[in-house]
Amino acid sequence: MPDSSAGILRLPQQDLASFDFFALEPAAAEAWAARLPGGNPVKGASMLRDALSALNRVVLAPPQRFAILEALRAPLQQLSGALTQALIADNSVISEHTQQRSELVSDLCELGAAGYALVAVNTIRRPDAIEGTNPARLACEALQRAVTCRCEELLQYHLLYRPVPLNHWAMLHHLYALAERQQLANLPVTDPLTGGETSIADEYLPGILLACCKTNQLRQQDTLATFRALRHWRGLARLEDPAVGEGLLFVDLGTDRQPGYSALQPQPLGGGQRYLNTSALVKHLGDLRARSGHGGYSLDRETRLDGHLCAHLARALGEVSQRHFNRQPARHQLWIATGLSAVHYYVAGERGLDQVLHGDDYEAPTAEDFSQNPFLAASDGGDVWQQANPEEDFEDDKDDAELELAIDADALAAAEGPGSTPRRYTVFTVESANVSPGGYCVEWTGLPDGVSIGGVVALREQQQGESDWSIAVIRWISQVKNAPTLLGLELLSPRGTAYAAQVRLPDGGYSRPIRVILLPEIALVGQPHTLLAPRLVFKENQKIILARKDEAFLVKLKRQIASTAAFGQFDFEYRRQLDDDLDAGRDALAASQFESVWDDL
């Protein structure tokens, strides 16, 4: 096993004479890790980061270093997992707490990878000095752990829509290239954390495949689910030598670049380049989508991939993607409203759902609102807690005014039902960075909570006036630290029409009216009229009633042509000939303002 590392890996220097965290033996490391504050992942991860940083700077024999790192590996994974889940749960993409958690995970993974890389490199350089274990096995296991840590670190940049830092790809490629040169890349390795058998190539593939999946177009939850799924499906992708292989994608092991499309390379592949063959994986994704339809596919209790995500991954890994329009620099202000309810409100001329349906002067009876709301109805049995412990009721030692609950106007309006005065939705001012016929790239400083990929927005270039609100969807997000967040907005239509929609229920009644937006036909580009609706409310081949003041139509939804986490987009056809159903629909729309929609969902 000759030395072929050639100094290409940037490893920490062993310049510490002492180590103060625990005795340098596996049992002491395990005991120290057991005392980390598991209930406070940030504090625990910070303590572990300091220990790993110091450990990497102490001179140790490779077997001893490997054993200590193995004792710390399980808590490292547990703390990293807890911080990642907290990151996903945070609605704000760029909050300070989110960035701190992500940077902690990145630091842990980078330090863990550096420690295992030290073991592998020192073992390869001096195999004769290794005692008590097979040098090749030790180097193989250490490289497998190092590659795993590097790919976990890579995941953090995808979750925050941030570019991968300089030298990260070079380090990951060099670790795999070192394994290839030592003929260790495909040897089986047992991983005690998973209890299964893996290899260095198996751990390398999910990281490079994730970089091909256009994660800037995915929600954070979908990116995490994709990474877990790719680890499960890694046997369906292969790295192949350019002399005998083929593939849509390729990696260059001698560069600091992510995978690219092999068809776009001006020269044939060779040397340190490898084809990334994803044909079996793309076929598997197509089969999954065909079997599960729009309902999705569950990999395990924590990982679910819906039909939209499977289709996205199949396109990303199976097709060469190129821009259809050239971007042109453009600096001007845009006014944007986010979310289907806000888009409906502004497209309707700043009118709520009831005003769209019945006219500007409509006012719903307040008593009806409360009588039809099951959450506001009085319970016949009283307070069950008071029945269970009647002697422990609180003492009424305050007057009624002091005991009243504070309810803000929005909450009260929501409790009063859709007939109440609609709230005015926020319109944000952003600045465009560039434009194309297909949409905008905008700079958004201080991205508000709830703005995510797949969300629908209304936008226009004039704050007030006669210009229509255009309808667009957020397709990608990109973040650079200490810089405005970039959003890619794809235009769906230059205008839209707000409608209320109802579905006929199994009992013959109709659901509560639901906000939908009709996007008109654009004959010039061959775009038919379509309907935007909340996701999971409607389905293909369903008949629904579209209505607004003085008009109602019975339509049949045909094909769902697009879907995101926020909305579904349907092609549809008018069924005007069903006059009886149209009359019933008009009556139902007027009579069922406060019927529950849950049965329909």
Greater pLDDT, 447 or 94: 447
Rg (CA), the chain: 29
pLDDT digits (tens, 9 = 90+) for 261-274: 988 887 878 888 89
Which tens digit of pLDDT belongs to each residue from 457-478? 999 887 666 678 999 999 888 8
* Share in percent of the chain as helix, strand, coil (round to 5): 40, 20, 40
Q: Is the dihedral of CA 135, 80, 317, 320 positive or negative?
A: negative
252 within 8 A of 211, measured Cβ to Cβ: no
Give the whole-angstrom CA distance, residue 338 versus residue 357: 22
* Res 326: pLDDT: 72
CB 162 within 8 A of CB 211: no
Output the pTM of the full model: 0.76
The CA-atom distances, in angstroms, between 238 and each of 197, 221, 241, 254, 386 are: 17, 26, 10, 19, 65
Reply yes or no on whether the pLDDT at 423 is more than 60: no
Q: Which of 42-46, 192-196, 371-375 has the lowest mean pLDDT?
A: 371-375
Annotated domain spans of the chain:
1-211, 497-591
Using alpha carbons, list the distances in angstroms from residue 40 to 20, 35, 92, 275, 523.
22, 12, 21, 43, 58
Q: Which of 448, 446, 497 is nearest to 471 (CA)?
A: 497
DSSP designation for 190: E
| Of 327 and 259, more confident | 259
Contact 477, 494 (CB under 8 A): no
Alpha-carbon gap, residue 8 to 11, rounded angstroms: 9
* Beta partners for residue 275, in sequence order: 240, 250
Q: Over the chain, what is the mean pLDDT? A: 80
- Tell me, what's the pLDDT at 67? 95
Question: Who has greater pLDDT, 37 or 387?
Answer: 37
Q: How far apart are CA 467 and CA 490, in angstroms?
A: 19
- 124 has a pLDDT exceeding 50: yes
Residue 324 — very low, low, confident or very high, per pLDDT cuts 50/70/90?
Answer: low
Report, as an integer, the average pLDDT of 429-458: 86
CA gap 90, 119 in Å, rounded: 37
- pLDDT above 90: residue 140: yes
Residue-wise pLDDT tens digits, 568-582: 888 888 875 344 444
Q: Averaged over 178-196, what is the pLDDT?
A: 90
Residue 565 has a pLDDT of 75
pLDDT digits (tens, 9 = 90+) for 87-110: 777 655 666 777 888 899 999 999
When pLDDT is averaged across residues 444-449 and rounded to a whole number, the result is: 80
The neighbouring-strand residues paired with 530 are 519, 571
Residue 215, token pair as written in the block: 């994660």
Q: What is the pLDDT of residues 539-574, one digit of tens each?
A: 888 888 888 888 888 888 888 888 787 888 888 888
**pLDDT at residue number 390:** 37
What does the pLDDT read at residue 567?
A: 86
For the domain made up of 497-591, the CATH class stated in words is mainly beta
pLDDT at position 327 is 78
